[in-house]
């Protein structure tokens, strides 16, 4: 038999029905049968079926009770109820209310059976797709925005990279747009009709990360009340984007490598192999080669990821892209806020271009969103741009020891002094005497300046 289309569990107390269904479906599906409720529960836990055919009446339990237990194990597994008589109609209706996808009236024709199973499988796939969409904003992007040499080169090679099945490793600082690049690779790949799911590995414990990636069986650990599909299953034949993969614990790295090489994996607490057909796109802000040398990242996984390596440049290296990025960012932000897309004054754009952007495109978006929230006209000006670095208000373009005349020339001197005094107090951790000493003024003068700021 070729690779089965999936796994079907049939629970019925009639041996002829079990044998007949197994014969009919066995050529295309991996079939497991159970003659009563007790066997059905055991088979469901061990077999993890994709579809269940469940009789309404069983010798040791009600099919309704069994349905409830199945849904407790895995809410998304479709269950098709089978009824042998008109008198069971009330039970069939009750089962539909409890989560059964549909029912079949015995005896049923083979074509009707196959059609019903296919519909149930499609419904389950749709649920997984909806779950995947909830994890992402599903934006369609065709090219990286920008005109710089680095971005142009990336756009030129993206088509070939997207068509290849190999894993992709994206390196770059936080906030450079590695996730945008990953989604773009997926959107331009043959897998675009399948799901794109993403996970940031930073800050997740080993146990939580394993559960998110591999899923878990009911009872695999404390509070594991239901069987949960992992991102490997949700991604299906689509793409899985793992951001900050350098934060992944070593034992999880080993399991990930095994899944990539064997294209199979097991849920946490599971004993049965599941297919892993997804394409992996990984990203990191670390130097993984150095992490390998220091023993913090597996060299075999690094070599597996390093087939295709891309670098997202920091924003300070492609400041010529700023006008394009500003336009790309403002358009959806203005739409979300229900207001016209504002212009950006030449002086404001010059201010943006003079800033080094340690937070990269993410920081730029935050600055523009803050400006848009407080904007009262149809143009963003320098005063609308609040740029902060290391928790202190910063003037773009100001160099150490130089007067920031370009951005502050239209501001009163008292305002500049007051803001500088407030920043000095904040930098001193609120210690007024320390701030006064550093400013070389008396504490009383410092208090007076702060009161003027409050006014």
SS (H, E, C) the chain: CCCCCCEEEEECCCHHHHHHHHHHHCCCCEEEEECCHHHHHHHHHHHCCCEEEEECECCCCEHHHHHHHHHHHCCCCCEEEEECCHHHHHHHHHHHHCCCCEEEECCCCHHHHHHHHHHHHHHHHHHHHHHHHHCCCCCCCCCCCCCCHHHHHHHHHHHHHHHCCCCEEEECCCCCCHHHHHHHHHHCCCCCCCCEEEEECCCCCHHHHHHHHHEECCCCCCCCCCCEECHHHHHCCCEEEEECHHHCCHHHHHHHHHHHHHCEECCECCCCCEECCCEEEEEECCCHHHHHHCCCCCHHHHHHHCCEEEECCCHHHCHHHHHHHHHHHHHHHHHHHCCCCCEECHHHHHHHHHCCCCCHHHHHHHHHHHHHHHCCCCEECHHHCCCEECCEECCCCCCCCCCCHHHHCCCCHHHHHHHHHHHHHHHCCCCHHHHHHHHCCCHHHHHHHHHHHHC
Cis before 113? omega within 30: no
pLDDT of the chain along its 455 residues, tens only? 556 778 899 999 999 999 999 999 988 899 999 999 999 988 887 788 889 999 988 998 888 888 888 877 777 788 998 887 655 666 666 767 667 778 888 888 888 888 889 888 887 777 666 655 554 444 444 789 999 999 999 999 999 999 999 999 999 999 999 999 999 999 999 998 889 999 999 988 899 899 999 988 876 776 766 778 889 989 988 999 999 999 999 999 999 999 999 999 998 888 788 888 899 999 999 999 999 999 999 999 999 999 999 999 999 999 999 999 999 999 999 988 888 999 999 899 999 999 999 999 999 999 999 999 988 888 999 989 988 654 444 444 433 333 344 444 445 666 667 777 787 887 777 788 888 887 888 877 877 777 666 65
Residues 241 and 329 in one domain: no
Residues 43 and 64 in one domain: yes
Q: Give the model's pLDDT for residue 90.
A: 67
| pLDDT tens, position by position, 369-421 | 999 998 888 899 998 998 865 444 444 443 333 334 444 444 566 666 777 77
Residues 328 and 216 in one domain: no
Residues 84 and 108 in one domain: yes
Query: What domain count does the chain have?
Result: 4
Residues 421 and 356 in one domain: no
407 in a structural domain:
no
292 in a structural domain:
yes
218 in a structural domain:
yes
105 in a structural domain:
yes
**Domain extent at residue 38:** 7-134
Residues 219 and 159 in one domain: yes
Residues 58 and 176 in one domain: no
Residues 162 and 292 in one domain: yes
231 in a structural domain:
yes
CATH number at residue 208: 3.40.50.300
Residues 386 and 445 in one domain: no
Q: Give the model's pLDDT for residue 138.
A: 45
402 in a structural domain:
no
Q: Give the model's pLDDT for residue 151.
A: 94
195 in a structural domain:
yes
pTM of the model: 0.61
Residues 124 and 189 in one domain: no
239 in a structural domain:
yes
Residues 170 and 273 in one domain: yes
Residues 284 and 320 in one domain: no
Which residue among 294, 313, 332 closes a domain? 313
CATH number at residue 104: 3.40.50.2300
Which residue among 134, 158, 190 closes a domain? 134
Q: Give the model's pLDDT for residue 320.
A: 93
Q: Give the model's pLDDT for residue 356.
A: 92
Which residue among 103, 134, 165 closes a domain? 134
């Amino acid at each position: 038999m070729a690779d089965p289309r999936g796994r079907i569990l049939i629970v019925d107390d009639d041996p002829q029905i079990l044998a007949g269904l197994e014969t009919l479906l066995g050529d295309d599906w991996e079939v497991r049968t159970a003659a009563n409720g007790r066997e059905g529960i055991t088979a469901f836990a061990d077999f993890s079926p994709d579809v269940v055919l469940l009789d309404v009446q069983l010798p040791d339990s009600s099919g309704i009770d069994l349905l409830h237990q199945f849904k407790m194990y895995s809410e998304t597994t479709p269950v098709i109820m089978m009824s042998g008589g008109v008198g069971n109609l009330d039970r069939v209706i009750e089962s539909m209310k409890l989560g059964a996808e549909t029912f079949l009236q015995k005896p049923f024709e083979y074509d009707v059976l196959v059609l019903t199973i296919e519909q149930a499988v499609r419904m389950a796939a749709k649920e997984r797709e909806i779950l995947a969409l909830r994890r992402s904003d599903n934006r369609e992007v065709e090219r990286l925005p920008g005109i710089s040499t680095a971005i142009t080169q990336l756009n030129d090679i993206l088509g070939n990279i997207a068509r290849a099945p190999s894993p992709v490793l994206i390196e770059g600082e936080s906030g450079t747009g590695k996730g945008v690049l990953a989604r773009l690779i997926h959107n331009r790949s043959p897998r675009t009709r399948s799901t794109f799911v993403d996970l940031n590995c930073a800050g997740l414990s080993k146990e939580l990360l394993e559960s998110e990636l591999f899923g878990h069986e009911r009872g695999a650990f404390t509070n594991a009340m239901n069987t949960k599909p992992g991102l490997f299953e949700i991604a299906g034949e689509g793409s899985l984007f793992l951001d900050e993969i350098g934060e992944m614990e070593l034992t999880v790295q080993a399991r990930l490598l095994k899944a990539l090489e064997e294209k199979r994996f097991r849920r946490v607490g599971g004993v049965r192999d599941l297919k892993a057909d997804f394409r992996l796109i990984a990203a990191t802000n670390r130097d993984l080669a150095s992490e390998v040398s220091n023993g913090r990242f597996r060299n075999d996984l690094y070599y597996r990821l390093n087939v295709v390596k891309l670098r997202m440049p920091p924003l300070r290296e492609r400041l010529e892209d700023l006008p394009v990025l500003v336009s790309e960012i403002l358009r959806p932000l203005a739409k979300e806020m229900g207001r016209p897309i504002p212009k950006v004054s030449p002086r404001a754009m010059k201010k943006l271009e003079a800033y080094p952007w340690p937070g990269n495109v993410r920081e730029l978006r935050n600055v523009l969103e803050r400006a848009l929230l407080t904007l009262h006209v149809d143009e963003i000006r320098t005063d609308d741009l609040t740029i902060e670095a290391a928790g202190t208000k910063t003037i773009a373009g100001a160099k150490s020891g130089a007067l920031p005349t370009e951005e502050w020339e239209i501001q009163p001197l008292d305002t500049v002094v007051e803001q500088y005094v407030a920043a000095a107090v904040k930098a001193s951790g609120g210690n007024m005497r320390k701030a006064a000493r550093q400013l070389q003024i008396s504490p009383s003068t410092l208090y007076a300046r702060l009161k003027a700021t409050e006014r």
